[in-house]
Amino acid sequence: MEYNEFYDVTKEFDIKLRKKLCNSCLKYKIEDYDAIIQLRSHNPNLISDFYSEIESRYQHTNMVIKKEIYEYGVDVYFIDLNEARKFARSFSKKYDLKLKESFSTKKRIKRRYTILLSTA
């Protein structure tokens, strides 16, 4: 046997595949969110900046489930609470907004957080 020889080996076996989603992909698919960032302002430029920053930062991720635009603000639904907090803090510092966080309990097990950003 020489070192430059190659052999092909064929073997048959059964493979069982199971489709499974990771937790964040599952949350995205069923639209289960951990946090909502609510921006409330009568300034259309601020609302526009907020929306475009969300779009640019999260366009290639599944962190944001949905966005709802109102004439008085925007609601953004996040899968991950820490990511929502991080974005809210940075945006509130950048535009000098007031930040308030609260939560509600769903079925005595799961908490859903609301992060309210409003003009001071």
Tell whether the model's pLDDT for residue 55 goes beyond 90: yes
Predicted pLDDT of residue 1: 55
Q: Which residues contact 98 (CB under 8 A, 6 or more apart)?
A: 92, 116, 117, 118, 119, 120
Confidence tier at 28 by pLDDT (50, 70, 90): confident
Mean pLDDT of 90-112: 90
Predicted pLDDT of residue 2: 65
Average pLDDT, the chain: 90
Mean pLDDT of 80-94: 96
- The dotted CATH code for 32-119 is 3.30.1360
Q: What is the pTM of this model?
A: 0.79
Q: How far apart, in Å, are the Cα atoms of 103 and each of 1, 39, 48, 78?
A: 71, 16, 26, 14
Mean pLDDT of 6-25: 85
- What percent of the chain shows pLDDT beyond 90? 59
Mean pLDDT of 43-54: 94
Q: Which residues contact 83 (CB under 8 A, 6 or more apart)?
A: 63
Tell whether the model's pLDDT for residue 27 goes beyond 90: no
Domain spans in the chain, listed from the N-terminal domain onward: 32-119
On whether the CB atoms of residues 96 and 45 are closer than 8 A, the answer is no
